[in-house]
Structure 1
Amino acid sequence: MSKLNIDQQTIKELFTNKRADFLIPDYQRPYAWDISECQTLWDDIFLFAFPEDDFSKFDPEGDEYFLGPIVTFKNSANKLEIIDGQQRLTTLMLLLRAFYSFFGNMKDDNSKKTAEDISKCIWKTDEFGTPDTNKLKIDSEVTSDDDKHEFLSILKTGIVMDSQKSAYARNYRFFTGQINNFLVQYPTYFAYLPNRIMNNCILLPIEAESQETALRIFSTLNDRGKPLSDTDIFKAQFYKYYKENDKKDEFIKRWKQLEEISDKIFSSVSGSSMDELFTRYMYYERAKMNNKNTTTEALRKFYEKDAYSLLKKDETLNNLEILANFWIHVAEQNDSVFSEKVLKKLAILNYAPNGMWAYLTSVYFMQNKDDSGSLDNVAFNDFLDKIIAFIWTYAIMRPGVNALRTPVYPEMINVVNNKRVTFDDYKFDEDSVRLALESYQFTNGRPITKSMLAWWMYTNDKQELLLLDTKLEIEHIYSRKRQENENGLADKWSLESLGNKALLEKAINIRASDYRFIDKLKYYKGFVTDKGKVREGTKNMELIELSTKSNDFMEADIMARKDLIISKFIDYLRKNDLLL
């Protein structure tokens, strides 16, 4: 069982302790508190220290204000590496330094004592208890924080230049301003505030015996802030490796570029956008290990094997950069890199029912790229056709992304062994697929509905490539409102049939949604308003063609279109050799 040292302490007790030698490690995020958060802290502390604006109503022996936990572990350099509480500790240090700037120049005994107490919170002391203003109680090695030197300079000197615009400088100016206003408005209270902050504001330092334990505690405690992402930990390992090889500055530059690319192309609900890049690369390394296990281990568990040995290779960062560049080309639909056919297939995959295609494609790219980082467009197009046909069908026949791991993982291994992707062991029975497509309820809430409609839209040879950020929604060609008003469909399920649905730009879909087909036509085609404003039509060529061929769209048309889509999709499976 892991050992923990937990002891509620005042700010003064924690900061003046001889063992207090805090380090904000390289993998932490830059300081990010803004004025609003500092204002909240100041207001809360002030209300606590002076209840009802009366210093006499405060009980110095019993009143306490809890500021939260500080999670650390002692690293190999005997420093307390901060896992949780970095932002809070940094802000408290700035606040105390701002107070010291005032009290350090006062001559009365109480002020001198207050200044001495504050100084022992900020600076290390010698064996006689004298603060050494060259040795701070806190240091920062955050690799992505260009302003950390300002933080350390402010703590040492108490001086902020007008040219300094960092969060440290901004917040320090805020606190000095608040303290100055406080001194003017409450001169008789002035001596009490910093002492009540140091002596009655409580922190809960939790010292773990290892980084892993500290991170686990942090994840348990912290349900409001942003926990350290896996990538933050990986960055630290890279940083140490490149620092040892005298390439620290080169690494920091390359890492920032990688972060910028990842932020552009990968979304992240939690953690870092780069977690997705590391995940996509993991599948390539995993395949090279011949790992077919369908239980995929957590990202950090994968990379931490053998003391993060994979992150201590030059080729790993190189490969991550190459893979990120590939995906930025995909996101930007770079037609100097990909053929039009490939770009259309990638646009279809943008609507895939799950994300497994991106992992398989990453493996394919890493294995098949040439020295310039390019793919053969003909072979890549064939690969994309194959995985679209397979993944779409598998999502209908055996729904669930986890189910897809079973056939996909062996194909990843085939790819790294320079074998073609065939899915030979998972081909489909034609009659079963047809029956499934005919009976499947393609409701709007099911991802496969949009997937099928995207594939169908791009089967039209005249269909132009749409930007990936085009907001497309599912259009009911025979509208729901029309069915409510006219009850024209004998089978109400025809309304939700694949034959009655198409992808349509969001703005047009809103305008056309409640109209009869004859009324929808002008929205499909585009028109000019009475005031001369041009309303562009859809880019979906099928809807444009429908609008020129007929003035109505009835149940028979829905059924005919459904049959056509299903037949074409069966042909697509046959063309890609996925039928038994």
Structure 2
Amino acid sequence: MDKIDAKYASIKSIFQSIVYTIPSYQRPYRWEEGQCETLWSDLEEFFFNQDESITSIDRTYFLGNIITVDSDEKKPNNEVFEVIDGQQRLTTLTLFLYALYEHLPEHVTLKQVLFQTEPDSIDEYFGLRIESKVNGKSEFYHLHNTLFDINQPFKKVDLESLSKHIPFANPNFHQNLEFFKAKICDPENGMQYTKDELKQWVNVILSKVFLLKIHTDNQDSALNIFTTINDRGLPLDAGERFKAELYLKAEEDHQEEAFIEAWDALLEGVDEFKELSLVAIFRSHMHLLKAKQTDISDEMGLVKFFQSSAYSLKSRYWRDTMDDLQKILGTESWLLEQKQGKERDHRTTALLLSILESSKKEAPKYAIIAYLFPRMEHNKESNKVYLRKEYYRSFIDFLENLIRFTYYSLFAKKGKDSLRADIIRLLPELVSGNKNIKWNDIASECKHKDALSNDALKKILDTGISGHTLKAMAMLRTYLAYKQESTPNPKLLPSNVAKIKFDQIIPKELKPEDNESIAKRDLINMQKKIGNLLVIEESGKIPKFTRSDWFSQKRIYLDALEHKTAEIIQFLETFTEENWSKEQFLEHQKNSVSKIYNFLRNYNMSTF
């Protein structure tokens, strides 16, 4: 059994005779002034609330956790531990203590806590007790040069000059050190504390501020602990765990630098898009791996999945995993470009993707990635991912069928998370790259039509949908109106789905007296139906027409729109009267339901 040691340790015992190395797979130093302000305020309050005797042990301050593991490195007269979690806290403490040390260079214990010293002489020091390998040791050199020069301990650091000479120079080190120094000695008002107060404060920090130090001799044990401990109530990032495991895999092949370069490129790509996250990329990767093994078991937690023997990150060559992650990122990026609809040919996919997103479910995205992954071309030189031209028309057909599959599953309401289970059943068929996807067979396995009869589906479309689902069906009807054209032209679709608004033909503000031919109850029911929504691309506010001539005013407004979709054109051509009767509305509603019903019932079985 792996040895795990957890103890409540003072800052003095945490640092003395130990060197902490931050492995290269860790994230760079990120703490900013806000976190430093919190740390300063907490420790200042703790210090000034002490009893007169600073050696009393009735009160201590708990600063958080650190997780460490034995290191292969050797240092004379010092143990060496790798930091798995807590590097931000340890680094900030070092900056804080150094700001105090500048005013107390004679404080022996403080010097021993900060520096690796010769056993026979504390005046001879040869390094900090924190060393970083992040960004090829550039983080370490930057921290080292920010704090001191061996020959000139208090030499002023030129940050701009330093950045030119040290790749990846991190300004947070210098900025946070200057923050702590200014708190002790204000540039305008001078020293804020007497030397005795500073000495007492150092003694309190070293002896009465504690960390929970969890140490193990096994890397896997440390990583397991890392993923189960919360930091200030927030779950630790699973991405950091995966990075560590992939790094260790690369280390076996002596390819650490190549891995760090690939990982940083992945993070840089993710950061370009606010809609994306590293965890989402790994979740898509999980579903792809499962689908390739025709594994249709329910979704599980990411960490648990990648720890399982069948899908462990350690079981694959790290480069293959990184290539897959980069391709997933490229696919997500390509989808975002499609959704923007900047090219006329993209308008179709933009609208179909918006219809799927309106389901407010994540599962359809898994299906889209699974379909695209084997059909996308990944140019590794340019790091661009794009859909092969021969698949573009098929992608439209695929999205149509996925809309059918998704909303049929939702309308069937077979149980909690039934859509996710249905999509997971579909994924192996999609990721295989087969030209003929067996939509009907899989829908049958999911018991879609058994759970939802034809009449039941019509009733749901007529009276049983609302909110985001109602809007999704309105967008679908807009798409079907475009397809109904003898020669469908993408310019008859919304040019920017981000500007889509939903106009009520019969406004909610309309009262029965404004239309004497429609009773109050009928009016309220009509206002809630799919036939009452029109998809409009409008940047400004949609005007409200509530007078008795509301319908003629509505027609004038629609006719004056700068961009009219096929649906609006067809609407204006069909309803030319000055008013809209109940009979006309019911016929329009019936046609709307019929179009959507016929679409949902019949999969397009063209070759994919």
Task: Give the TM interval when normalised to the shorter protein.
Answer: 0.7 to 0.9
Structure 2: how far apart are the matches of 1:64 and 1:7?
17
Letter of the 1:320 partner, please give it. Answer: L
Q: Which secondary structure does the structure 2 equivalent of 1:21 belong to? A: strand
Structure 1: how far apart are the matches of 2:598 and 2:123?
81
Paired residue for 2:383? none
Aligned CA distance change for structure 1 residues 344 and 49 (closer, same or farther; 3 Å): closer
Paired residue for 2:486? none
Q: CA deviation at 1:283?
A: 1.8
Letter of the 1:542 partner, please give it. Answer: E
TM-score normalised over the length of structure 2: 0.78
Paired residue for 2:493? 464
Q: CA deviation at 1:86?
A: 2.9
Paired residue for 2:510? 482
Q: CA deviation at 1:169?
A: 0.7
Matches within 5 A, 1:266-305: 267=275, 273-293=277-297, 295-305=298-308
Paired residue for 2:146? 154
Question: Is the 8 Å Cα contact of residues 159 and 171 (structure 2) preserved in structure 1?
Answer: no
Paired residue for 1:385? 400
Selected match of 1:119 from 111, 125, 134: 111
TM-score normalised over the length of structure 1: 0.81
Q: CA deviation at 1:56?
A: 8.2
Letter of the 1:562 partner, please give it. Answer: Q
Structure 2: how far apart are the matches of 1:338 and 1:364?
20
Q: Which secondary structure does the structure 2 equivalent of 1:23 belong to? A: strand
Paired residue for 1:312? 317
Q: Confirm or deny that 1:239 pairs with 2:251.
A: no
Q: Which secondary structure does the structure 2 equivalent of 1:139 belong to? A: strand
Cα deviation code 1:61-107 (max 9, x no counterpart): 14635142223142453854444433222111101112222322xxx
Q: CA deviation at 1:296?
A: 1.8
Structure 2: how far apart are the matches of 1:239 and 1:467?
42
Aligned CA distance change for structure 1 residues 452 and 118 (closer, same or farther; 3 Å): same
Question: Is the 8 Å Cα contact of residues 353 and 392 (structure 1) preserved in structure 2?
Answer: no
Matches within 5 A, 1:163-562: 163=160, 166-181=171-186, 184-187=191-194, 188-207=196-215, 222=230, 224=232, 226-245=234-253, 247-265=255-273, 267=275, 273-293=277-297, 295-306=298-309, 307-333=312-338, 341-369=348-376, 373-375=386-388, 376-398=391-413, 402-419=417-434, 420-425=436-441, 426-427=443-444, 428=449, 431-438=454-461, 440-444=463-467, 447-461=468-482, 463-468=492-497, 470-483=498-511, 489-491=520-522, 492-504=524-536, 508=540, 511-512=543-544, 516-520=550-554, 524=558, 542-543=567-568, 546=571, 549-550=575-576, 551-553=578-580, 555-562=582-589
Structure 1: how far apart are the matches of 2:564 and 2:145?
58
Aligned CA distance change for structure 1 residues 28 and 248 (closer, same or farther; 3 Å): closer
Q: Which secondary structure does the structure 2 equivalent of 1:361 belong to? A: helix
Structure 2: how far apart are the matches of 1:571 and 1:325?
35
Paired residue for 1:107? none
Question: Is the 8 Å Cα contact of residues 404 and 601 (structure 2) preserved in structure 1?
Answer: no
Question: Is the 8 Å Cα contact of residues 545 and 553 (structure 2) preserved in structure 1?
Answer: no
Letter of the 2:191 partner, please give it. Answer: V
Paired residue for 1:13? 13
Aligned CA distance change for structure 1 residues 430 and 192 (closer, same or farther; 3 Å): closer
Q: CA deviation at 1:403?
A: 0.9
Question: Is the 8 Å Cα contact of residues 20 and 80 (structure 2) preserved in structure 1?
Answer: yes
Q: Which secondary structure does the structure 1 equivalent of 2:299 belong to? A: coil
Selected match of 2:596 from 565, 569, 576: 569
Q: CA deviation at 1:59?
A: 4.1
Structure 2: how far apart are the matches of 1:224 and 1:472?
40
Question: Is the 8 Å Cα contact of residues 374 and 431 (structure 2) preserved in structure 1?
Answer: yes
Q: Which secondary structure does the structure 1 equivalent of 2:521 belong to? A: coil
Q: Which secondary structure does the structure 1 equivalent of 2:27 belong to? A: coil
Structure 1: how far apart are the matches of 2:137 and 2:464?
52
Q: Which secondary structure does the structure 2 equivalent of 1:191 belong to? A: helix
Selected match of 2:64 from 63, 69, 81: 69
Letter of the 1:572 partner, please give it. Answer: F
Cα deviation code 1:211-253 (max 9, x no counterpart): 6665665666536365432222222233334455454444334
Q: CA deviation at 1:389?
A: 1.4
Cα deviation code 1:250-281 (max 9, x no counterpart): 4334333322332344646xxxx111112112
Cα deviation code 1:511-531 (max 9, x no counterpart): 5497844555566456xxxxx
Q: Which secondary structure does the structure 2 equivalent of 1:233 belong to? A: helix
Structure 2: how far apart are the matches of 1:513 and 1:22?
70
Q: CA deviation at 1:500?
A: 1.5
Letter of the 2:521 partner, please give it. Answer: A
Q: Which secondary structure does the structure 1 equivalent of 2:481 belong to? A: coil
Q: CA deviation at 1:327?
A: 1.9
Aligned CA distance change for structure 1 residues 452 and 364 (closer, same or farther; 3 Å): same
Q: Which secondary structure does the structure 1 equivalent of 2:259 belong to? A: helix
Letter of the 1:456 partner, please give it. Answer: R
Gaps of 5+ in 1: 105-111, 527-535
Structure 1: how far apart are the matches of 2:478 and 2:136?
44
Aligned CA distance change for structure 1 residues 394 and 432 (closer, same or farther; 3 Å): farther
Paired residue for 1:88? 89
Question: Is the 8 Å Cα contact of residues 347 and 493 (structure 2) preserved in structure 1?
Answer: no
- Range moving further from structure 2, 278-287 or 33-42: 33-42
Q: Which secondary structure does the structure 2 equivalent of 1:204 belong to? A: strand
Q: CA deviation at 1:567?
A: 1.1
Aligned CA distance change for structure 1 residues 234 and 378 (closer, same or farther; 3 Å): same
Paired residue for 2:166? none
Q: CA deviation at 1:485?
A: 8.0
Question: Is the 8 Å Cα contact of residues 72 and 207 (structure 1) preserved in structure 2?
Answer: yes
Gaps of 5+ in 2: 73-78, 164-169, 380-385, 483-490
Paired residue for 2:382? none
Structure 2: how far apart are the matches of 1:389 and 1:437?
15
Structure 2: how far apart are the matches of 1:576 and 1:557?
30
